[in-house]
Amino acid sequence: MKIEDILAKLPYSEPFLFVDTIEKIDESGVVGTYRYDENLSFYKGHFVDHPVTPGVILTETMAQIGVVCLGIFILNDSFTKDSVIALTSSEIDFLKPVFPSETVTVFSEKIYFRFGKLKCKVWMENQKKETVCKGFIAGMIK
C-alpha cells in the first residue's frame, strides 16, 4: 500500500487532521510528522500569551499517526470508508511542552493486532530529537 493511499483513507479533515507525512511504515510500526500551525484555534485560549499545545492534541496526533495510519496499512484493502475506528485506551506521559510552529515526529511500534484491536508503543520527538511524550495507545478498527 502506498503512503498516499493511507493518507487518503484517513477519516479526518482540517482542522482535526494531525498527519503531514508518513516517513516509514511496515507491519511492525510507523514514523510520521506533523507541524502545529501557530494559527490553530486552540492556541488562542490555552495559556494566554504563552501558548502550548494541549496534551489531548499531542495524544490525538500520536493516535492518528501511530495507530490509525498503521491500522490502515495493516488492513490494506479491508479498510474502507465504512470502517469504524475508536480509541480504547491511552497511557501517555508528557515530558516537555510543544509550542506553536513546532514540527514533531511520531514513532510507533506495534505491540499486537488481534480481533480488530491494535495496541502500540508510541513516542513523540521535537525537532531537537528530544522525547516530548511517550506511552501506549490502543484502538479498535472494525
- Encoded amino acid at 96, one letter: K
Quote the cell numbers at residue 47: 495559556
Strand order in the sheet with 85-94: 21-26, 29-35, 103-114, 117-125, 131-141, 85-94
Active site residues: 46
Read off the DSSP letter of residue 10.
-
CA 97 to chain centre: 17
- Phi, psi (deg, nearest 5) at residue 129: 65, 25
SS3 107: strand
Between CA 65 and CA 105 the distance in angstroms is 9
Between CA 63 and CA 69 the distance in angstroms is 9
